[in-house]
Amino acid sequence: MNRRLVAAGVAGLLAISAAVAAALAAEIPLDQRRSSYEDMSPGNKAMQDDDTANPAVLFVLDGEALWNAKAGASGKSCADCHGDAATSMKGVAARYPAFDNALRRPVDLEQRINISREQNQKAAPFAFESKEMLALSTYIATQSRGEPISQFDDPRLRPFIEKGRAIFHQRQGQLNLSCAQCHDDNWGKSLAGNIIPQAHPTGYPIYRLEWQNLGSLQRRLRNCMTGIRAEPYPFGAPEYVDLELFLMWRARGMPMETPGVRP
Amino acid sequence: MAARTLVNVPPKAKRGEVIQIRTLISHAMENGFRHDNMGKPIPRDIITSFVCSYNGETIFDATLHPAVSANPFLTFHTVATESGTIDFKWIGDNGFSQEASAKITVE
């Protein structure tokens, strides 16, 4: 075969694959982002919107009790230092994961609660997904309801956002899928009977009807990872926090919905 | 932690008006058909009955079964007849009992 023809063919193929890659790897434009709340049935929307029908509010009440309960060797409650959560915690969950100076890396809200329990209250940390951790983190995050998610413009966070982005685009598991292939490239289409959401973590911790319980963002991420038959990271792994940070940065400016309800 | 309840009764209503009452209670509603990680059956632990009374008179009751999901949410209607108290009681396995009440003013 003519060598020049082969070269032209290879160049053409490269151009096509580059165009396909560009078309698939595009991030969702900021003005086209939407919460998966929009995809819910009117009944489920009503459940989230009505504080006497939203089952997550039961956990918020438990969280309020924990906020005011004395704990650990210090004999102090959260409220003893932080005061009224309605003012001191307003907007806090909207800017987590945040950079921790001692650890030199971002920590999520759950880790921040346990750091404060161990260092300030001298109390045992809560286990991941324990009723106490879910209740307290939901109570704190509910104080940010309606607040816009932070811009995450702290330069120290930048490398961790990039790590999270790399995980988001990394194909993994037996199905060899990346997060981006569903949530950037195919949102709005159907996966079995469900609409693929854009994956914005606006309402966490969420009450998921399928779980019949409240769950953290990390639980939800594990859910997707087992769905693509990848091995999930252990709870609290830095990879999750990087991914949480990337997802929150990706949802920057969107309003917080905690306590969210999802089917 | 004790069970949490959320009841929603309109604080004011006109006489003869049909009002909606909504109740929510935290309960795992463990159905008794599941097994733990070691294969041991998890014993049933559900709410078995719910009664709502309006100034002492039962206006709604329900028997709950293992298929009811966790944190049962019950909604029903009644006619606002007079001012007073609406009481709610949930009873379940292992001696579970929880009460709540709400005031209503009928004009």
Identify whether A6 is part of a domain. Answer: no
CB contact under 8 A, B4 and A61: yes
- What fold, for B5-106? Immunoglobulin-like (2.60.40)
DSSP A83: -
Split at pLDDT 50, 70, 90, the class of A19 is very low
Identify whether A97 is part of a domain. Answer: yes
- pTM given for the model: 0.89
Identify whether A24 is part of a domain. Answer: no
Interval B12-30: pLDDT, tens:
999 999 999 999 999 999 9
Q: In what order do the strands lie in the sheet with B47-54?
A: B12-13, B97-106, B84-92, B47-54, B57-63
Q: Known catalytic residue: A179?
A: no
Planar angle of CA B88, B91, B96, nearest 5 degrees: 120
Distance CA B96, CA A84 (A): 33
Examine the pLDDT at A2 and tell me if it is beyond 70. Answer: no
Identify whether A30 is part of a domain. Answer: no
Q: Where are the alpha helices (DSSP H) in chain B?
A: none
Identify whether A228 is part of a domain. Answer: yes
Domain residue limits, chain B = 5-106
CB contact under 8 A, B71 and A52: no
Backbone conformation region of residue A83, classed left if phi is above 0, alpha if psi is from -120 to 50, else beta: left
ipTM score assigned to the predicted complex: 0.88
Examine the pLDDT at A75 and tell me if it is beyond 50. Answer: yes
The count of CB pairs under 8 A between chains A and B is 40
Interval B75-104: pLDDT, tens:
999 999 999 999 999 999 999 999 999 999
Split at pLDDT 50, 70, 90, the class of A193 is confident
The answer to whether A106 and A99 have CB atoms below 8 angstroms apart is yes
Domain encompassing residue A183: 36-263
Residue A166's domain is classified under what CATH number? 1.10.760.10
Examine the pLDDT at A76 and tell me if it is beyond 90. Answer: yes
Distance CA B93, CA B41 (A): 16
Tokens representing B33 are 């058909």
Distances in Å between the Cα of B56 and the Cα atoms of B7, B9, B18, B50, B86 are 17, 16, 19, 15, 8
Please give the pLDDT value at position A20.
47
Average pLDDT over residues A221-241: 96
Interval A122-132: pLDDT, tens:
999 999 999 99
Identify whether A140 is part of a domain. Answer: yes
Interval B63-77: pLDDT, tens:
999 999 999 999 999
The answer to whether A217 and A137 have CB atoms below 8 angstroms apart is no
Please give the pLDDT value at position A232.
96
Identify whether A254 is part of a domain. Answer: yes
Please give the pLDDT value at position A67.
97
Query: What are the residues facing B84 on neighbouring strands?
Result: B104
Determine how many CB atoms are found less than 10 A away from the CB of residue B64.
18
Chain B interface residues (partner A, CB cutoff 8 A): 1, 4, 6-8, 22, 24-26, 29, 69-71, 73
Q: How many separate domains does chain A show?
A: 1
Pairing of strands B57-63, B18-25: unpaired
